[in-house]
Amino acid sequence: MDKSETIELVKKFSNANGAPGFENEPAKIFDDYCQKFGETSIDTMQNAFCKFNGNTGNRPLVQIDAHEDSVGFIVQAIRPSGLIKFVPLGGVVPTNMPASRVRVRNKNGDYLPGIISTKPPHFMTAAEKGKVPEIADMSIDVGTTSRQQTIEELQIDTGCPIVMDVTCQYYEYNDMFLGKDFDDRIGCAAVVKTLETLQRKKLDVDVIAALSAQEEVGLRGAYVTARKINPDVGIVFEGCPCDDTFEPDWLIQTGMGRGPMLRDMDTSFIANPAFEEFSDQVATKLGIPHTRSVRTGGGVNGAAITYYNGVPTIVIGIPVRYEHTEYNWIKLSDLEDSVKLAVGIIEELNKEILESF
């Protein structure tokens, strides 16, 4: 995959609509790309699988994971004015939401534009101007003037999913993408690129990759994929939030251009220590810039895979600025370095090394 194909891949995943529970688009993109790498399938939950060509069935099995959903919203009810009352699917804070552009999927499957709206500043009291509104008091305005118009003409009602509305762009001058949902669509792109690179390698392990659904609402898809795959070891690609815009240099653990981040722990997960050290050594040996992180918040699919049989698992974090908001930045070199690291690890894994974890 050359640079322009990689840029195209990242854009496709970023632009895809995939609120938790509604991941058909990213699952289909993965399936289309991966048919040449192995046997693909999509289950009823929209988890998307690729059994790698060349698997023998008698070698240790590596599960490669990324989650395909992204934080979104869902219509709770339509207000008499036609505005939409909504609730979040995943972790968002009200500070980052008003004035964001969104797409609402109507009952016919069409995505229609809307804006997260609050009372205009002209009408706010002095106290309201200094206060962040509650999500319950926000609305999504799809450009209608009555409840009837929203429900009957636009076919939008309770249960319709909502995603951010951003078109991904790549900028050559800083090697960066500005787009939406890089948590974890950049991980999805990394899985595809890893499978593509592994085709040219000689391996001592079997590989099954899966994009998992519903991570943002509690790692639900990965609990299912791990049970279905029954792996011996897990590698999770996750778009991880950058801290390089507000932490002092000595405390930056995920930053633009600093390469993959190996996550030691967060509130859901502790990486298998031996696998973590092994992965760090592979990165150092291959000259890949990388960081380690210990987080006091967050959660990752690594937890769901570990909970299945105690499978030794690591998380390769790809730095994302401002995730869980409308716009995110990522750097192409961080994607490339993360793929290099995963490929390097998988190339070196064998039965003996696995037994040492």
Where along the sequence are the contacts to Zn ion (CB under 5 A)? 183-184
Residue 114 or 302: the one with the smaller Cβ distance to Zn ion is 302
The enclosing H or E element of 11 equals helix 3-15
Task: Tell me the two tokens of residue 83.
Answer: 């505005």
Residue 184 or 266: the one with the smaller Cβ distance to Zn ion is 184
Shortest distance (Å) from residue 216 CB to Zn ion: 7
Please state, as a whole number, how many other Cβ atoms lie within 10 Å of the Cβ of residue 299: 18
Residue whose C-alpha is closest to residue 235's, from 353, 62, 69, 30: 62
Residue whose C-alpha is closest to residue 189's, from 249, 259, 239, 138: 239
Give the start-end residues of each E strand in 118-269. 139-141, 161-164, 169-171, 176-179, 206-212, 233-241, 261-265
Shortest distance (Å) from residue 302 CB to Zn ion: 11
Residue 83 or 320: the one with the smaller Cβ distance to Zn ion is 320
Shortest distance (Å) from residue 251 CB to Zn ion: 22
Shortest distance (Å) from residue 261 CB to Zn ion: 13
Shortest distance (Å) from residue 347 CB to Zn ion: 26
Residue 93 or 132: the one with the smaller Cβ distance to Zn ion is 93
Residue 139 or 225: the one with the smaller Cβ distance to Zn ion is 225
313-324 burial: b if 16+ Cβ within 10 Å, else e: bbbbbbbbbebb
Shortest distance (Å) from residue 293 CB to Zn ion: 14
Residue 184 or 264: the one with the smaller Cβ distance to Zn ion is 184
Q: Is 88 helix (H, G, I), strand (E, B) or coil?
A: strand
50-70 burial: b if 16+ Cβ within 10 Å, else e: bbbeebeeebbbbbbbbbbbb
